[in-house]
C-alpha cells in the first residue's frame, strides 16, 4: 500500500451531507522522513524522494513552460494511490482544470466520487459562470481572504480526520498578490501554511514569472519551505530546486514536459544529470 493510502476509499466530500465510514490512517515510520512523489521519477530522485511531508513550496516561472503540467501531475500521482487532494483555483475554472487531470488520470470522476478530489474555485464566478461541480466550493474572486482561508481549512480538516496526509495546489498565488499586495499576501501564505502543516499536508503554490518584482518573489520564497524555479533558454527548459530537505543539487537541471508528464532529462547521479 502506498504511503498515505487508506484501506477504504468510500469517503465523504466536505460538500456532501452523508459521512462515509472511518478510514484507517497509516502511521508514520519512526525515525524516517516521509516524502510524496511528484509523479516524475527522475525529479523525485533529484529531490531525494519527493516533497517532504508538512512542507509548502513555491513553483515559480513564466507561462507555457510546464508549470501547469507539474502541478497536475502532482495531483494525479497522488489520487491514483488514494491520497486526497485539494485544488485551489484563482486562474482557472474547475471544469477547465479537470480536463487537464483527465489527460493524466481518466478515472478522475471515480476519484471525485470517492472523496479524493475537491476544489475551491475562485475564478468561475468572476467570469460569469455559476459553477455546477458538486465537489467544488465556488467563491467570488479572491477579495475575501478570510473566506478563502476558511474554505481551504474546511476541506483540510476533513482530510486530516480520515487520511494520514493530503496534497494541496494553489493555482495561482499571483491573483492574491495583484489584488492584496505583498504584505497581505505574505500574511495569507503564512497563515495557510501553518494550517496545511498542522493538518499534515503538502502544498505547492504557483507564482507567475515575469509579472512580479524580484523582491516580491524573493519575499514570498523566504516565507515558505522551498522553491522550484523554471526557466527557458534557447529552447531548452531548466529547473532549480532549493530549500527542501534531501535535495541533491541546487543547480539548474534540464527537464522536458508534454501534456502527459513532466520530468528531468536523463538520469541523476552525483549532482549531475547525464
How far apart are alpha carbons 169 and 68 in whole angstroms?
10
The pLDDT of residue 7 is 34
Query: Is the model's pLDDT at 65 over the cut of 70?
Result: yes
Tell the burial category of 266 from Cβ atoms under 10 Å away from its Cβ (0-12, 13-18, 19+): middle
The pLDDT of residue 210 is 85
Question: What percent of the chain stands above pLDDT 90?
Answer: 81
Averaged pLDDT for residues 88-115: 97
Mean pLDDT score of the chain:
87
Which of these, 9, 11, 14, 8, lies nearest to 134 by C-alpha position?
14
Query: Is the model's pLDDT at 2 over the cut of 80?
Result: no
Averaged pLDDT for residues 6-25: 37
pLDDT in tens, 174-185: 999 999 999 999
Could you give the C-alpha distances from 255 to 112, 229, 265, 273, in angstroms and in order?
31, 12, 5, 10
The pLDDT of residue 14 is 43
The pLDDT of residue 209 is 87
User: Which cell is 96 given?
Assistant: 477547465
Which of these, 95, 99, 118, lies nearest to 16 by C-alpha position?
118
pTM of the model: 0.86
Q: How far apart are the first and last CA of the chain?
A: 32
Domains, the chain, with CATH or none:
35-39+53-229 (3.40.50.300)
Provide the pLDDT confidence category of residue 89 given band limits of 50, 70 and 90. very high
CB atoms within 10 A of CB 146: 9
Residue 85: in which H helix or E strand, if any? strand 85-89
Query: Is the model's pLDDT at 192 over the cut of 60?
Result: yes
**Chain mean position to CA 18:** 27
Averaged pLDDT for residues 196-209: 96
Tell the burial category of 154 from Cβ atoms under 10 Å away from its Cβ (0-12, 13-18, 19+): middle
Amino acid at each position: 500500500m502506498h504511503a498515505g493510502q487508506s484501506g477504504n476509499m468510500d469517503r465523504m466530500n466536505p460538500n456532501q451531507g452523508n459521512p462515509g465510514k472511518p478510514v484507517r490512517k497509516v502511521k508514520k515510520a519512526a525515525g524516517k522522513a516521509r516524502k510524496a512523489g511528484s509523479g516524475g521519477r527522475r525529479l523525485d530522485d533529484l529531490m531525494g524522494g519527493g516533497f517532504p511531508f508538512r512542507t509548502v513550496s513555491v513553483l515559480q516561472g513564466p507561462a507555457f513552460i510546464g508549470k501547469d503540467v507539474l502541478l497536475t501531475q502532482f495531483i494525479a500521482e497522488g489520487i491514483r494511490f488514494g491520497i486526497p487532494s485539494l485544488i485551489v483555483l484563482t486562474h482557472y475554472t474547475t471544469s477547465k482544470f479537470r480536463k487537464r487531470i483527465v489527460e493524466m488520470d481518466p478515472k478522475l470522476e471515480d476519484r471525485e466520487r470517492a472523496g479524493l478530489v475537491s476544489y475551491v474555485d475562485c475564478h468561475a464566478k468572476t467570469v460569469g459562470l455559476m459553477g455546477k461541480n458538486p465537489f467544488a466550493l465556488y467563491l467570488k474572486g479572491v477579495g475575501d481572504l478570510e473566506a478563502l482561508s476558511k474554505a481551504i481549512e474546511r476541506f483540510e480538516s476533513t482530510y486530516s480526520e480520515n487520511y494520514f496526509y493530503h496534497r494541496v495546489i494553489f493555482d495561482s498565488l499571483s491573483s492574491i498578490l495583484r489584488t492584496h499586495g505583498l504584505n497581505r499576501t505574505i500574511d495569507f501564505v503564512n497563515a495557510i501554511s501553518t494550517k496545511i502543516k498542522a493538518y499534515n499536508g503538502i502544498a505547492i503554490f504557483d507564482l507567475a514569472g515575469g509579472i512580479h518584482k524580484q523582491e516580491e518573489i524573493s519575499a514570498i520564497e523566504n516565507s515558505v519551505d522551498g522553491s522550484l524555479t523554471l526557466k527557458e533558454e534557447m529552447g531548452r527548459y531548466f529547473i532549480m530546486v532549493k530549500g527542501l530537505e534531501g535535495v541533491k543539487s541546487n543547480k539548474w537541471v534540464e527537464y522536458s514536459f508534454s501534456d502527459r508528464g513532466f520530468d528531468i532529462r536523463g538520469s541523476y547521479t552525483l549532482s549531475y544529470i547525464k
